[in-house]
Structure 1
């Protein structure tokens, strides 16, 4: 074997290894491109959903469905619009009347049973919370004595701790929600 043949075989081996390396790089690059394309499509879909959600919130659901190029997607967001309303716990509703300033109004005069009309008989009774126990008596109210009131004893720290933890959790949830809404607005 001459030096030229050996050099030729070495060059063939080098070229073959370069070709294999390039094929491997091409395969890796094509896989990377596919993964990147999938990520881009997912992000585009998310951006489109956020735009649709912003459109729904700015125009209202009906106008958004009427003017949208793809009303199916906007209709799909309708459940998000209804769920995104903050859930109101019944506790603030119960406490709201207690916290309102009291206005002096004359006591209500009870009506005789004959005054009940057909319209009022169809109205169902208003449900009261289980903790509400009305005190009704036919006896006239006596004047309140001027004796010193019994001091208010604060609740033990454990009872306050639970309510404070609930308030902290509520504040944390509100902050998370607000930051998420800000991120959505930025998009």
Structure 2
């Protein structure tokens, strides 16, 4: 993983009632372009088959943000879903490697000042980079190399990307400590 970004703009501004204690509402459709069976959610769903749906073909986020996962039980690739329409899988998948979304949960936003520490080695060792309330489209531009092995998200909610320019798989860092990269890799 090479990139970190502060929360998407909606998350940073608190729009969409996604802050702690806020309202969350998302509608999932079994087919593309908001067709077929539909289900409205206001809370987490560890397995879409609990709602008698086999797949998610399109999504409308009324208020959020939400975090979608490729597999059941909040596993696999992560997808940050902000307020808006997602008519087909490639509109929410940043890496275009998966057309599956099997679980969802509201993304809790810590509205405090945003601050995160990135470390090149596990256990918070090696080079350290501190980011405060800022977008960083490329860690290389700041002298940080191509890997982040541990993270301390001191305040705020952050989205890390696999490649420069906010591309590739997304990894969400909510306030907390991630001693080893496998703690945020949902595979």
**TM-score (normalizing by structure 1):** 0.19
| Bigger RCO of structures 1 and 2 (CA < 8 A, at least 6 apart) | 2
Rg larger in structure: 1
Higher strand share: 2
Higher helix share: 1
